[in-house]
Amino acid sequence: MKCLVIVLVCAVLAEGIHRIPLVKHKSIRERMMEKGERLPYQDPALKYFPSEFAGSATMYINNYADTTYYGAITIGTPPQSFQVLFDTGSANLWVDSVLCNTQACSEQPHKVQPQQSSTYSANGQTFYLPYGAGSLSGVFGYDTVNVGGIVINNQEIGLSTNEPGQNFVVAQFDGILGLSYPSISAGQETPVMDNMMSQNLLQANIFAFYLTSDGQQGSELSFGGVDNTKYQGQIYWTPVTSQTYWQIGIQGFQINGQETGWCGQGCQAIVDTGTSMLTAPTQIMGTLMQSIGAQQDQYGQYTVNCNQINSLPTLTFTINGNNQVCSVGITPTYLPSQNGQPLWILGDVFLMQYYSVYDRTGNQVGFATAA
């Protein structure tokens, strides 16, 4: 019966889907390496638990140095176009603006010009974004935002006023659009998805990602329903365990079909389109890397011989009783989840294998094998 319901939902909602094509670019880290510069490693989980900034209008964007999938939105009247990262690991919308005059801003071709929009109004609240070796500051305002043909009125927007450092100089995105729950929104600003829901702009309070592998076209984010042309078989659903990020439970982890016991007492995972890698709890990282024959280089990155890729072991997650398989591309995370269980981050390396669906009404995440 559950599978039948899913099939019916797909058929009914197909015509109500709003699609945003996503384009894969080189990451900040890759572009800085081309210039002979390296970013230091920082725990990707700091994005989720920046306790030192609790209570302030602060967003933590540490691990966007490796993200690569961006799509277009417009802001204002008449519309101004921007390439943004659609991020399930944060809640706020911010973009580069003409209010900023640092090098990163002056070299960005696309900057929001609030004075040119007849629908813009000021907010006055400021925000701060720690970012690895740099940071970003800005002010909040309100304007009309168009996401895949969905027109959202009076959407809160962060406008950058200061972008020091080199990170944003080489960035190929103009901003970030957060898709997590409003409970983690900096400044208690209302996220884009929540305004879509409150303004009754969607047939269903669902969005979904289809991410293609390197060199392939067709990556897409859709709002309003699921697209049954983007996956094979059925969608397997698992409940959200914390309505902050898109956090879910993991009941088991296997290497080449052998249960490791690492999640025998339960693990938590955050499904994060704003992280490129799969990250593993630090307490199992060494054993996991040893099992796949990886070596750590002078920069702390784990590598394997490219000739051995086809013989690497299969890694399997058990999520809500269903086995999910992912490719290898792993970095460590040192922080646990809120309840102390080991924390994994299921980033783009994982999500390229699956069509992932995010259901705000049912507070659940769905996975199906990508078509």
Q: Are 63 and 349 in contact (CB under 8 A)?
A: no
The residues, any chain, with a CB within 8 Å of residue 111's CB and separated by 6 or more, are 95, 96, 97, 98, 100, 105, 174
If we measure between CA atoms, which residue out of 147, 132, 89 comes closest to residue 273? 89
Q: How far is Cα 250 from Cα 267, in angstroms, rounded to an integer?
A: 5
Measured at the alpha carbon of residue 81, what is the angle toward residues 80 and 84, in degrees to the nearest 5? 130
Amino acid found at 301: Q
Q: What is the DSSP string of 95-127?
A: E-BTT--SHHHHT-S--B-GGG-TT-EEEEEEE
Q: What angle do CA 204, 210, 213 make, to 5 degrees?
A: 175
CA distances (Å), 277 to each of 55, 281, 289, 335, 341, in order? 29, 13, 14, 16, 20
- The answer to whether 332 touches 348, Cβ cutoff 8 Å, is no
- For the chain, helix (H) and strand (E) counts, in that order, are 7, 25
**Which neighbouring-strand residues pair with 332?**
280
Give the active site residues. Answer: 87, 272
What are 10's two structure tokens? 């797909």
Measured between alpha carbons, how far is 353 from 23 in angstroms, rounded to an integer?
17
Q: Which candidate, 161, 171, 167, places its Cα nearest to that of 83?
A: 171
CA distance 353 to 69: 15
Phi and psi for 276 in degrees, rounded to 5? -80, -35
What are the DSSP calls for 14-31, one per residue? GGG-EEEEEEE---HHHH
